Amino acid sequence: MNLLSPDSFEKVLLPNAEAHCLPAWCYSDEEFFELERKAVFGRAWVGVGRQELLEKPGDYRTLEVAGTPIIIVRGEDNELRAFSNACRHRGMRLLEGEGSCNAISCPFHGWKYKLNGDLLGVPHMEQAVGFDRKTFGLTPVRLGVSDGFIFVCLDPDQVSLSDWLGDFSERHAPYGFENLRCTRQTTYEVACNWKPFVEVFMEYYHLKWVHAGTFDSIDYRPPVPHEVTTGNYTTVFGFHNEGSAAVIDADAANALPPIPGLPADLQRATRCTMVFPGFIMAATKDCMWYFECHPVSAGKSRFVLGTCFPEETIAQPGFEEIQKAYQKRWHLGAMEDVEVLERQQLGLASPLATSGPLSHLEYAVGDLAKFIARQVTSQA
């Protein structure tokens, strides 16, 4: 196989009704994984969660994007910024995990950076000839916020976040994403490539088989034709019967109120969206949930689930107790999917695995495949 040959993706790039999935080796080959990391995640605006989770000046989190360690921190001026998580002296990883700090101090030789990245203090450097503290601030990484979501981009030449997202904000405006608050985060370590996880989130085809008895009775009816977007994202909108898609049928009677201002027709519908490459979210009558996508290797991934509700809903008496039914459904849905995806991975890793055609219920899978094919072949 030639990883960069357009011939490898000929069937992927056909219109969705004729297209095939990505070749199976795109899900299991470590060389392709490295290429994807560089050509896809290294160039995209990558969604990394919610701005309200870093609420106060000094709040930070660390993560890796395309294998690059990054710090996201809120400055004293309330601005969110991203930096390389490597000391400008001898490369020490500066922060781990998440927390809050007044300044970023290197544990190796004590260099200290302000929250805006400026180098503040440098012990025992007075004899270093030509050393100018002002030129050794933390290396910045592009960061943008849209609809309450944080995005980072390692590529200085990439278009702006606004251009990357196109009509994303307009299409999701009825849900008022910027007014929602994340109430909980849950991390899932999954023994599969990152793509099957985000693909299954975006297709209705599997519901009847994988979620039989849990939420297969929702009776999704996604519209045909598939919606066209102007941004680097794909979306699936479907009407369903009354009630929230975020609780199982048994808990429907105890559901939370609708998102304030959400039109009546959208109160019996769900919109699932994937901002390429792998930031996925679903919005329904009363809430929104999303998964951050963190590829680990060709056969391993990490996903962070964030669950978001309107402030008014969170403030209502008994919210914590009622929220448990939602968390139960999200966990159940994830575990039912993961069981299948880890088995799919075993099949995809077979040298005899082939890629098949797509149902009209999984056109978003075709959209992701086309995005990846175009990104990796543009490197050729």
Beta carbons of 286 and 269 less than 8 angstroms apart: no
Q: Does 131 bind ligand FES (CB under 6 A)?
A: no
Q: Is 119 in the site for ligand FES (CB under 6 A)?
A: no
Number of residues in contact with ligand FES, rule: CB under 6 A?
9
Residue of 37, 38, 61, 89 that binds ligand FES (CB under 6 A): 89
Shortest reach from residue 101's CB to ligand FES, in Å: 15
* Shortest Å, Cβ 116 to ligand FES: 18
| Residue span 156-175 as binding mask against ligand FES, x where in contact by CB under 6 A, dash where not | --------------------
Chain Cα centroid distance, residue 332: 20
Least distance from ligand FES to the Cβ atom of residue 132, Å: 16
Residue 109 near ligand FES by CB under 6 A: yes
Dump strand ranges (E) for the chain. 45-50, 59-65, 68-74, 80-84, 98-100, 104-105, 112-113, 119-121, 140-146, 149-153, 180-190, 233-239, 269-275, 279-283, 288-297, 300-310
Which own/partner contact pairs does 311-320 have at CB distance under 8 Å and 24+ positions apart? Answer: 311/179, 311/180, 311/181, 312/257, 312/260, 313/256, 313/257, 313/259, 313/286, 313/287, 314/181, 314/183, 316/256, 316/257, 319/256
Q: Indicate the DSSP class of residue 10.
A: T
- Between residue 325 and residue 364, which ones bind ligand FES under the rule CB under 6 A? none
Q: Are 371 and 34 in contact (CB under 8 A)?
A: no
Taking CB under 6 A as the criterion, the residue among 13, 53, 80, 92 binding ligand FES is 92
Q: Are 360 and 335 in contact (CB under 8 A)?
A: no
**Residues 48-87, mask of contacts with ligand FES (x by CB under 6 A):** ---------------------------------------x
Binding flag, residue 111, ligand FES (CB under 6 A): yes
Shortest Cβ 122–ligand FES spacing (Å): 8
CB 121, min distance to ligand FES, A: 10
Q: Closer CB to ligand FES, residue 86 or residue 293?
A: 86
Please, what is the minimum distance in Å from the beta carbon of residue 66 to ligand FES?
A: 23
**Helices (H) then strands (E): counts for the chain:** 8, 16
- When asked if residue 106 is in the footprint of ligand FES (CB under 6 A), the reply is yes
Tokens 């200290």, located at residue: 112
Shortest Å, Cβ 345 to ligand FES: 39
Rounded to an integer, what distance in angstroms lies between the CA atom of residue 57 and that of residue 336? 39
Q: What pairs with residue 140 in β-bridges? A: 83
Looking at 90, 208, 221, 331, which residue binds ligand FES (CB under 6 A)? 90
| Interacting residue ranges for ligand FES, rule: CB under 6 A | 87, 89-90, 92, 106, 108-111
